[in-house]
Copies of this chain bind each other. A is one copy, B any other.
Amino acid sequence: MSLDPARLIPMANAIRALSMDAVQKAQSGHPGMPMGMADVATVLWSNYLKYDASAPSWPDRDRFVLSAGHGSMLIYSLLHLSGFAHPTMEEIENFRQIGSPTAGHPENFLLPGVECTTGPLGQGLAMAVGMAMAERHLNSQFGDDLVDHRTWVIAGDGCLMEGVNHEAIGLAGHLKLSRLVVFWDDNRITIDGSTDLSTSENVRARFEATGWFVNSCDGHDYADIARAIDEAQAQDRPTLIACRTMIGRGAPNKQGTAATHGSPLGAAEVEAARKELNWQAAPFEIPDQVREEWRSAGSRGYEARTDWSTRLGDSEHKAEFERRMAGDLPEGFDLKEFVGDLVREPQKVASRKASENALAVINSRLPETVGGSADLTGSNNTKTEGLETFTADDASGRYVYYGIREFGMASAMNGMALHGGVIPYGGTFLVFSDYCRPAIRLSALQQARVVYVMTHDSIGLGEDGPTHQPIEHLQSLRAIPNLLVMRPADAVETAECWEIALQQKKRPSVLALSRQGLEQFRTEEAEENQCAHGAYRVKEAQAERRVILIATGSEVQLALACAEALEGRDIGADVVSMPCAELFDEQSPAYRDRILPNVGPEEILRVSIEAGTSFGWERYTMLNGLRIGIDGFGTSAPAPDAFEHFGFTSEAIVPKILAKLEA
């Protein structure tokens, strides 16, 4: 389509007007970025981006990621103008108001066309890397006919300064993700003022050092923007386009300054901008011709999409492709048979090893899994036999060597999961969940099925010591909404937890797995997935019940030993394994009361045993129950010595229980 400024200037100014008016009305928001990047976005959305506004979830659409999510009015304007059903003009008028999908930052679960939630800086670009990986991977499996699209990103200085940017672009450069193009809004302004205040970096040279093609353009010159994009599309590696722009472009007195970044322009400046831009329409009104131009841009992809649908209809891969993109597991998929084998032939293995064994089955039956590890492949046990490596030359591999990039890995997995068609899982040590915690939070917020394989889940990792021993991590992760934290206690539970994780279409999971060997106590056939209850009784009191021991993961075997010692003293003790507290909390009150009757410690003493902080365990033990935990940092020692040091032996625990019973 045409790059004629006479056509594009009013289109871009429509974005500027909507952005400044919506922020002004809300008395809150960020007009500077949308006004500065309006021209680049207009060229992209009117001439390059492959999409059909009438079909936002077309699988072969290009993905557009507004990494600088504070400029949310840019994408809301684009979606509205190009003809997406939402946001409506009313919704734009309700920018940042309760109940409107036009939230302060773009939320993928509120608006089709918003590919991912952005705002936490740097993560949009890092997720785009995952989307570009998923595209090449699916292309290798389904061919150009079905999968052949690009990923476009608008990023600001903040996105580039954040540490995750280094990890993300390193991975993208290494994998030569040529379908990825990043527009850098090079406006030389951050919140605190000029970028000179805090950085002296040669951004171009840094991207070149990591294998990117670096281009630049005048971000307010349509032909120059188009030239830069054309050149980018011809590359065999990812491209950064440095767009020289003026923040707040069009606001005559404030443009080019931090004053336009995060505050309304003010009524007078909005008025002045209208004059400067020669924009005569009232707030929230779009002249018919501008609207028509935008609508025709938004329907540019209609034919491509219908052609694609025809190809899909003719494809032998149709059913499988649709299943994969819908995120459905194969009909009847479960791990019952595998669990049955385990029950018949019990194993004493570390749960990280049990996870590998379960994964071997999963990976052989689910072609959509894409595994990886942040340089701990042999420790996380994430690479099962036959998984080939995802490389720059061959994206068909289902295993990614992410390098020492936990945050980049987690972000890429978010991007893959949101792209659809793959189920990503990736490993690191549980303690390093901190390194990717911002992305774990976004998995949960974005309702993305990502499986975090987090091994070495307690002081049981032994000699590596306090820096590597998680203490607060299990509880800190459990505090995140919409995230399943699962800590299986033996090989059967590990398989069950994997099954649960895969079934969560809208929820990420963390699997916390041991380094050390665990006895298998689940040796009887069960009709259903016991872990799906979150917590269940693994051993019933023999003598009159005075105690309920609640444990997770490697401490369940310890709880069983304590129970045996108590029964020896004629004190009845249930043992409850709680692989997933979140799922237990979702059970019916009747079920919960059956496992943990709501009676005080004078009747039944509840005792929790988990080799981590006791913080938060009052939810299950009651305040006057007993909590066996570790409320300081760990220690460097062989695992048995570390457990003994912190009182994780039945010899140390049972007397505490007895004392409490007698108190």
Q: Which chain B residue lies CB-closest to A431?
A: B120
Docked-complex contact A403 and B170, CB < 8 angstroms? no
A198 and B174 form a contact (CB under 8 A)? yes
Q: Which residues of B contact A435 (CB under 8 A)?
A: 120, 162-163, 438
The answer to whether B162 touches A165 (Cβ under 8 A) is no
Residue in B375, B623, B631 whose CB lies within 8 Å of A618: B623
Residue of B nearest to A161 (CB): B404
CA distance A377 to B197 in the complex (A): 12
Q: Are the CB atoms of A619 and B624 closer together than 8 Å?
A: no
Q: Residues of B contacting A465 with CB < 8 Å?
A: 96, 103-105, 107, 119
Given contacts A165-B166, A464-B105, contact A482 B199 (CB under 8 A): no
Instruction: Indicate whether A478 reaches chain B with its CB closer than 8 angstroms.
Output: yes
Give the contact stretch, choosing among A50-58, A469-477, A551-559: A469-477
**CB pair A405 B467 closer than 8 Å:** no
Judged by a CB distance under 8 angstroms, whether A315 is at the interface is: no
Given A618-B619, A619-B616, A633-B481, answer yes or no on A375-B437 (Cβ-Cβ < 8 Å). no
Closest-by-CB residue of B relative to A614 is: B619
Closest residue to A606 on the B side, CB-wise?
B623
A362 to B123, CA, bound (A): 36
Q: Which of B405, B624, B642 contacts A163 (CB 8 A)?
A: B405
Q: Find out whether the CB atom of B463 lies under 8 angstroms from the CB atom of A28.
A: yes
Decide: A408 and B120 in contact? CB cutoff 8 A: no
Point out the residues of chain B lying under 8 angstroms from A173, CB to CB.
Answer: 200-201
B174 pairs with A167, CB closer than 8 A? no
Stretch at the interface among A145-153, A208-216, A224-232, A324-332: A208-216
Q: With contacts A192-B375, A200-B210, A613-B481 known, is A163 near B164, CB below 8 A?
A: yes
A418 to chain B, nearest CB (A): 15
Task: Report which of B29, B205, B638 forms a contact with A28, defined as CB distance below 8 A.
Answer: B638
A153-181: CB near B (< 8 Å → 1, else 0) gives: 00001100111111100110110000000
Q: Which of A157, A161, A600 has the most CB of B within 10 A?
A: A161
In the complex, which residues of chain B have a beta carbon less than 8 angstroms from the beta carbon of A205? 205-206, 208-209
A198 to B403, CA, bound (A): 5
Complex CA distance for A487 and B18, rounded to whole angstroms:
38
How far is the CB of A174 from the nearest CB of chain B, in Å?
A: 5
Which of chain B's residues have a CB closer than 8 A to the CB of A637?
96-99
A229 smallest CB distance to B (angstroms):
24
A208, B462: Cα distance in complex, Å? 40
Q: Tell me whether A445 is interfacial, beta carbon within 8 Å.
A: yes
Q: Give complex CA distance A636, B94 in Å.
A: 11
B contact residues around A171 at 8 Å (CB): 198
Flag whether A379 is at the interface (Cβ < 8 A). Answer: yes
Question: Is the C-beta of A191 less than 8 angstroms from some C-beta in chain B?
Answer: yes
A351 within 8 A of B: no
A373 to B211, CA, bound (A): 32
**CA of A285 to CA of B209, assembled, Å:** 46
Contact of A121 among B211, B404, B631 (CB under 8 A): B404
Which residues of B sit under 8 angstroms from A613, Cβ to Cβ?
Answer: 479, 481
Once the chains are docked, how many angstroms separate the CA of A475 from the CA of B29?
A: 29
Q: Determine whether the beta carbon of B96 is less than 8 Å from that of A404.
A: no
Complex-state Cα separation, A471 to B402, whole angstroms: 30
Contact B377 A192 (CB under 8 A): yes
Q: Is A434 an interface residue (CB 8 A)?
A: yes
Judge if A468 is at the interface, Cβ distance under 8 Å: yes
Q: A467 and B117: CB pair below 8 A? A: yes
Indicate with 1 or 0, residue by residue over A615-628, a CB within 8 angstroms of chain B CB atoms. Answer: 11011001110000
Q: Please tell me which one of the listed residues B96, B206, B378, B403 contacts residue A636 in the complex, with CB atoms under 8 A apart.
A: B96
Q: How many whole Å from A216's CB to the nearest CB in chain B? A: 15
Q: Collect the chain B residues with CB atoms within 8 Å of residue A624's CB.
A: 598
Q: How far is the CB of A15 from chain B (nearest CB, A)?
A: 20
A126 nearest CB neighbor, chain B only: B163
Residue A654 at the B interface, CB < 8 A? no
| B463 adjacent to A29 (CB under 8 Å) | yes
* Complex interface: chain B residues within 8 A of A478 (CB): 615
User: Does A466 make an interface contact (CB < 8 A)?
Assistant: yes
Please tell me if the beta carbons of A405 and B375 are within 8 angstroms of each other in the complex: no
Q: In angstroms, how far is the closest chain B Cβ from the Cβ of A631? A: 6
Contact (A192, B119) CB under 8 Å given A103-B465, A479-B472? no
Residue A367 CB within 8 A of the other chain? no
CB distance from A23 to the nearest CB of B (A): 10
Interface residue? A202 (CB, 8 A): yes
Greatest chain B CB density within 10 A among A376, A406, A438 is at A438
Inside 8 A of A190's CB, which chain B residues have their CB?
375, 403-404
Can you identify 12 A-B contacts, CB atoms within 8 angstroms? A28-B463, A104-B465, A163-B167, A163-B407, A171-B198, A199-B403, A475-B479, A481-B633, A482-B632, A615-B616, A616-B616, A618-B622
What are the 9 A-B residue pairs with the smallest beta carbon separation, nearest first? A163-B163, A198-B403, A166-B166, A119-B467, A103-B636, A98-B637, A205-B209, A472-B479, A104-B465
| Given A28-B463, A200-B211, 16 more pairs with CB closer than 8 A | A97-B638, A104-B465, A104-B636, A105-B464, A105-B636, A107-B465, A161-B170, A162-B404, A170-B199, A173-B201, A191-B376, A201-B210, A202-B210, A437-B437, A475-B479, A618-B623
